């Protein structure tokens, strides 16, 4: 997934993305396998962030395959590449909007939670697809942040959800890119994609409510920038624990971001 664009501490952002991947990675693996990613393929992963998707792709394509993973943030790439222990992954700096300097002929291109941050996602998707050979795969995964994050929606859940959505809207981030993927593939000149929708959900002591605390805490710089809420309002250090406690006390469950995967074979 892409590095969060408002994060100030890149090392902390790297750790956040790694932990968040424990929720998203099983869904992404299912998508990559369903789309037809296979051993020996050359894969381009755009907006790689902490490298979660690149590592999943590398596991699938195996030792005879190769993954090129890029992110717009040089600091993020420096941290991620320093932690890379997979010899078939190569990391580099490139803007997912234009992919300047990235060659073509890949067997597949992937991206998770990337298009939602682009100023022109259709153009970005078109550039990504142009790096894939005819007959290759274009595989994207995006989320829907506007559904209810927990059931029931208790006071802390309601408040932090409202703050994050308002901050992202003011930052012009598309919070419903997942449902928009089907039409976006058409806008990018790609064939009609196949879709796979999924989410994680849990209640009780093992509730994944902490994951939302992780996401909201990372959005605090944007909330402050746009005057939505202060760090004191959010209290990110205790937010995961408060969300977990409130979920358990209500007898409810937390629902991870609803993820939509889309894939098509390039003409």
**Is 179 domain-assigned?**
yes
Is the pLDDT confidence value at 10 over 90? Answer: no
Check residue 188 and give its pLDDT.
Answer: 98
Residue 133: pLDDT band (50, 70, 90) is very high
**Is 4 domain-assigned?**
no
Check residue 4 and give its pLDDT.
Answer: 52
Average pLDDT over the chain reads 94
**Is 5 domain-assigned?**
no
**Is 133 domain-assigned?**
yes
Q: In what order do the strands lie in the sheet with 89-93?
A: 89-93, 66-71, 42-46, 106-112, 132-144, 258-265, 194-198
The label of the residue with tokens 């746009």 reads 226
Is the pLDDT confidence value at 129 over 90? Answer: yes
Is the pLDDT confidence value at 1 over 70? Answer: no
DSSP element (H, E) containing 141: strand 132-144
pLDDT in tens, 20-39: 888 899 999 999 999 999 99
**Is 3 domain-assigned?**
no
Burial zone of 195 (CB within 10 Å; 0-12 exposed, 13-18 middle, 19+ buried): middle
**Is 162 domain-assigned?**
yes
We report the CATH number of the domain holding residue 205 as 3.40.50.150
**Is 254 domain-assigned?**
yes
User: Which residue did the predictor score with more confidence, 101 or 2?
Assistant: 101
Residue 7: pLDDT band (50, 70, 90) is low
Distance between CA atoms of 17 and 33, rounded to whole angstroms? 22
Range 66-78 average pLDDT: 94
The three state secondary structure string of 79-120 is HHHHCCCCCCEEEEECCCCCCCCCCCCEEEEEEECCHHHCCC
Range 233-261 average pLDDT: 95
Say how many domains are in the chain. Answer: 1
Show the domain range for 79.
Answer: 10-265
Is the pLDDT confidence value at 254 over 60? Answer: yes
Tell me the two tokens of residue 48: 């790689």
Check residue 2 and give its pLDDT.
Answer: 52
Check residue 19 and give its pLDDT.
Answer: 80
Whole-number percent of the chain with pLDDT over 70: 97
- pTM assigned to the model: 0.94
Is the pLDDT confidence value at 5 over 80? Answer: no
**Is 18 domain-assigned?**
yes
Range 47-67 average pLDDT: 96
Check residue 94 and give its pLDDT.
Answer: 97
First to last CA, the chain: 26
pLDDT in tens, 160-201: 999 999 999 999 999 999 999 999 999 999 999 999 999 999
Check residue 87 and give its pLDDT.
Answer: 97
CA nearest to 209, candidates 265, 250, 261? 250
pLDDT in tens, 198-236: 999 999 988 999 899 988 988 999 999 999 999 999 999
């Amino acid at each position: 997934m892409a590095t969060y664009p408002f994060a100030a501490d890149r090392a902390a952002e790297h750790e956040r993305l790694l932990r968040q991947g424990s929720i998203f990675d099983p869904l992404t693996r299912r998508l990559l396998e369903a789309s037809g990613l296979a051993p020996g393929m050359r894969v381009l992963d755009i907006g790689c962030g902490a490298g979660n998707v690149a590592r999943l792709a590398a596991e699938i394509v195996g030792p005879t395959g190769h993954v090129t993973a890029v992110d717009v943030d040089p600091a993020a790439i420096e941290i991620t590449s320093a932690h890379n222990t997979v010899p078939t992954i190569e990391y580099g700096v490139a803007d997912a909007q234009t992919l300047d300097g990235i060659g073509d002929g890949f067997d597949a291109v992937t991206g998770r939670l990337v298009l939602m941050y682009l100023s022109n996602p259709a153009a970005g998707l078109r550039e990504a697809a142009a790096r894939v050979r005819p007959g290759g795969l274009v595989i994207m995964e995006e989320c829907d942040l506007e559904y209810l994050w927990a059931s029931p929606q208790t006071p802390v859940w309601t408040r932090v959800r409202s703050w994050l959505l308002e901050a992202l809207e003011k930052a012009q981030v598309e919070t419903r890119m997942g449902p928009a993927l089907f039409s976006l593939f058409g806008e990018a000149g790609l064939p009609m994609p196949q879709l796979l929708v999924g989410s994680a959900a849990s209640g009780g002591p093992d509730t994944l409510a902490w994951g939302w605390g992780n996401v909201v805490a990372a959005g605090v710089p944007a909330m402050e920038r746009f005057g939505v809420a202060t760090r004191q309002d959010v209290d990110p250090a205790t937010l995961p624990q408060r969300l977990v406690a409130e979920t358990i006390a209500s007898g409810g469950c937390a629902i991870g971001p609803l993820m939509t995967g889309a894939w098509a074979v390039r003409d």
